[in-house]
Amino acid sequence: MKKLINRPENIVNELIEGFLLVNKNSIKRIGNLNVVARKEAPVMGQVGIVIGGGAGHEPVFLEYIGKNMADVEVHGNIFTAPNPKSILEAIKAADGKAGVILLYNNYAGDVLNFGVAQEQARSEGIIIDTIIINDEISSAPKQFMEDRRGTTSDHIIIKIAGAAAQSGLDFESLKTLLKKAIYNSRSLGVSLSACTLPETSLATFTIEEGKIEFGMGLHGEAGIKKVDMMDADNTAITILEMLIKDLPFSSGDEVVAVVNGYGSTTRMEMFIVARKIHSFLNEKGIKIYSTEVGEFCTSQEMAGISITLVKLDEEIKKYYDMSADSPGYKKF
């Protein structure tokens, strides 16, 4: 796979430089690090929201800072957790003396590095805690939920976190809200083709012609079943049946549904999947409050989609409903 890059070792730095030039009116860089913040951060008296993770999944997490979104983002190298030093600077850039929440996906490298930075921040007197996103249902059984990976509920969780923080919700209430929103979020995807690492142009795995794989991770982690190619409706049904059984989502529930494209999937395909989500959930008596279609969390040029369902209650809905303005996600 050919990629429009310059020297492979400069990919992430050039990505950040381009991102800053494009968003120069709203985003600033912290130090000379791969750490970016909305211009207003830190806001004194508000809980600061720090997000981050490996590069290569844009818009996640880089582009989700802004109005009613996160305050600061720390970007790692391709598919690699950011380093503790950068995370510590991100924490300081978000610290409005009302607590800082680290919000990221559940991967070992991230847990390790964010954990180290959190301890350092605490030792410097910053009020801080961690909330880990673990919405991907195929990566561990439900009784080991804390082992599940974080995936494509990210932008919804960040949106709720940012809206609540910028509305002035206090540190403890915000953590409780986010734990609930994450618990209510379930995601599962299907991959049709592999992604390549941009530095080497080599595929991280292969999926044979005529096959698709459910539950594959964003970095090529093995999925739960590889099957013959199915049509869009049956693919959506396969995912939805596993999703609704897992929480479970039941008749009378109200949800936000997300169709996420992994990279080379067309919006045409995403809308065809969205169509089936509506008829399927309608049959189950589950009400769709809102459907979001787009590339929210990608894996380079991987083909495939994931579906995320987030069960709403009045509190989650209140923050979901607020407008949001970030480079990667805008909502009126």
Residue numbers of the site for a second copy (CB under 8 A)? 1-7, 11, 14-15, 17-19, 21-22, 55-56, 58-59, 63, 192-193, 198, 209-210, 212, 229, 231-233, 235, 263-275, 278, 291-293, 295, 298, 300-301, 303-305, 325, 330-332
For the CB of residue 47, give the shortest distance to a second copy in the complex, in Å: 23
For the CB of residue 32, give the shortest distance to a second copy in the complex, in Å: 16
Closest CB to a second copy among 217 and 327? 327
**Catalytic choice (57, 75, 155, 278):** 57
Q: How far is CA 28 from CA 40, 41, 67, 71, 332, in A?
A: 9, 9, 14, 11, 24
Closest CB to a second copy among 100 and 273? 273
For the CB of residue 175, give the shortest distance to a second copy in the complex, in Å: 29
Locate tokens 């969390």: which residue?
297
For the CB of residue 299, give the shortest distance to a second copy in the complex, in Å: 10
Closest CB to a second copy among 184 and 265? 265
d(CA 234, CA 244): 15
Closest CB to a second copy among 55 and 90? 55
Closest CB to a second copy among 84 and 162? 162
Q: Is 57 a catalytic residue?
A: yes
Print the SS3 string covering the chain: CCCCCCCHHHHHHHHHHHHHHHCCCCEEECCCCCEEEECCCCCCCCCEEEEEEEECCCCCCCCCECECCECEEEEEEECCCCCHHHHHHHHHHHCCCCCEEEEEECCHHHHHHHHHHHHHHHHCCCCEEEEEECCEHHHCCHHHHHHCCCCCCHHHHHHHHHHHHHCCCCHHHHHHHHHHHHHCEEEEEEECCCCEECCCCEECCCCCCCEEEECCCCCCCCCCEEEECCCHHHHHHHHHHHHHHHCCCCCCCEEEEEEEECCCCCHHHHHHHHHHHHHHHHHHCCEEEEEEEECCCCECECCEEEEEEEECCHHHHHHHHCCEECCCCEEC
Q: Is 219 a catalytic residue?
A: yes
Closest CB to a second copy among 73 and 292? 292
For the CB of residue 204, give the shortest distance to a second copy in the complex, in Å: 14
For the CB of residue 129, give the shortest distance to a second copy in the complex, in Å: 30
Active site residues: 57, 219
